[in-house]
Structure 1
Amino acid sequence: MSIKTILIDDEPKAIAILKSKIERFCPELDIIATIEKPAQAFDIINELQPQLVFIDIAMPGMSGFDVLEQFKNPQFEIIFATAFDQYALDAIKQCAIGYLVKPIDNEDLVESVTNATININQKNALLKNKQLLENISQENFQKKKIVIPSIDGLEFVKVKTITHCEGVDGYTKIHFTNRKPILSSSSIGHFKKLLTHPDFYHIHKSYVVNTTHIVKYLNDGYVVLSSDATIPVARAKRAEFLERFRG
């Protein structure tokens, strides 16, 4: 049995290593594509219809979870790869989905592929994938990590530590509960799209706020956060904002 397989990782070296290991230890896998840009994954997977996808969790701009969330009915088997993030592993384990911890051990790879092959034959990927999507997209959102490009490189931060994002001259300053702000080269629009969850609100053209940190609304149109920061609410959004929290 030949299993159509796609590898997704933003690091070419990581793809090369995994590809080599698969060719040596898992010859039953037929690697039909490798993807270094996660934004391309949705179209390529839809076109090639793989049975198995290896995907890195932490990638710039779009995580492995973000890729999966693009699919309405993801019926391919998944093996996640990660170098860290215990929350991610917990979410995956709860759904009996395969995972590998980097650097990838040969025996772990063979075991994961064996389990994936069994699952492919049983055709139960869709149910597990939907459960994973439910786990990672609702109550656990605040536990997720996102990737923030900064001057020094890439920062991996927990969503729950973000109090607000502030647009500054085309850049974005991200404020936290537990550390100094990070200045990202991405615009505030990028973070508006990245933090598309009810816990985050685009309160003003220059601000996205983590609503779990709002402690007070002032009558003159400002909110006060747990960090003591005072953020303006756009006049056009005040009625909607108040209605949302009254509800």
Structure 2
Amino acid sequence: MIHIAVIDDTQEDLEYIASLLESSFSDISPVFYSDPEKAIHELNWSKIDLLILDINMPNINGFDLLERIKKYSFEVIFSTAEEQYALKSYSYFALGYLLKPYTEYDFIAFISKALHRIKHRQNTVANPQVSKVIPIATTECVFMISVDEIVRVESVNNYAKFHLADGNAHLSSHGLTYYKNAFDSPTFFRVHKSHVVNTSFVEKYYLDGTLVLKNTDRVPVSRRRREAFLSHFKATK
């Protein structure tokens, strides 16, 4: 069962979404809020998989609402009549941005995409061999990247730059600290305050603290982390 919450201060919009969900999707459990404050209170302790969130609401907007929900891990689809919020919405890793008035086709497409991603994530938890996918928000779009494709991540002017196995690199809108949960895996090790490496791609380690990766990149290991890195590397092999 997929749990969905909808927050919108307009009753007509809530009813429209309710009718679309009921007619087009099964195996979902939706809850609807016209009061943002009540939604914040309940979403801080209840578990949902997807939030459909209005941006323009009295007293609080959708972005501020998300800031008040602690450690949310659900997917988010924003809905609004204002186009100027589109870019900002992706800095919150939004899955989509529904511009009101949206069509039934657009709504179904967005929700179908969300449900597909949610089921993939649930399957990843149930089957650890399935590669974890994390969203990397840039100024232009959100890249969905398998952690197995990440060779290393470096801090560039307080932003995180992801270097991938295919040679591409993506500069995120967030810093390294933002992704700390994504790196909570034996595969990754923070070898330097500015560098996280995927140990699967380590080819050589020099005694001066230089790592050479399989893509020929060279990464420094800070002095205080060298012993811990070697112990970590041996333990994962």
Question: Per the shorter chain, which TM-score range?
Answer: 0.5 to 0.7
- The corresponding residue for 2:125 is 133
| Structure that is richer in helix per residue | 1
Aligned to 1:55: 50
1:106-145 correspondence runs (5 A):
133-135=125-127, 138-140=128-130, 143-145=131-133
Aligned to 1:204: 192
Report the CA distance between 1:193 and its aligned residue: 3.4
> After the TM superposition, which residues 173-212 of structure 1 pair with which residues of structure 2 at under 5 Å, given as runs?
173-212=161-200
AA of the residue aligned to 1:19: A
TM-score between the two structures when normalised by the length of structure 2: 0.57
Q: Which residue of 1 aligns with 2:138?
A: 150
Matched residue of 2:180: which SS?
helix
Query: What secondary structure sits across from 1:173 in the alignment?
Result: strand
Report the Cα distance in structure 1 between the residues aligned to 2:220 and 2:199, rounded to whole angstroms.
13
CA-CA distance at 1:7 after TM superposition = 2.4
Distance 1:200 1:150 in 2: 22
The SS at the match of 1:194 is coil
Q: Deviations over 1:74-115 (max 9, x none)?
A: xxxxxxx652898975675x6xxxxxxxxxxxxxxxxxxxxx
Gapped runs of 5+ residues in structure 1? 10-14, 65-80, 95-131
Tell me which residue corresponds to 1:221: 209
1:246 pairs with 2:234 = yes
- Name the SS for the 2:181 alignment partner: helix
Q: Distance in 2 between matches of 1:241 and 1:54?
A: 36
2:113 aligned to which of 60, 83, 93: 83
**Amino-acid identity (%):** 24
For the 8 Å contact 1:7–1:31, the answer to whether it is kept is: yes
Structure 1 pair 134–54 and aligned structure 2 pair: CA distance change class (3 A): closer
Q: Which amino acid is 1:55 matched to? A: L
- The offset of 1:194, in angstroms, is 2.9
Distance 2:114 2:223 in 1: 42
- The answer to whether the aligner puts 1:31 opposite 2:61 as a matched pair is no
1: distance between equivalents of 2:118 and 2:30? 27
Aligned pair count reads 173
Shift in Å at residue 186 of structure 1? 0.8
Partner of 1:21: 20
Deviation of 1:63 (Å): 9.1
> 1 CA distance for matches of 2:30 and 2:114?
28
Contact 2:133 2:146 in 1 (8 A): yes
Tell me which stretches of 4 or more aligned residues in structure 1 moved more than 6 Å: 84-88
1:88-144 CA distance string (max 9 Å, x none): 75675x6xxxxxxxxxxxxxxxxxxxxxxxxxxxxxxxxxxxxx6342xx443xx22
Structure 2: gaps spanning 5 or more residues: 8-13, 52-73, 77-89, 96-110
TM-score, normalised with respect to structure 1: 0.55
| Paired position in structure 2 for 1:112 | none
RMSD: 4.1
How far residue 230 of structure 1 moved from its aligned partner, in angstroms, is 0.7
SS at match of 2:205: strand
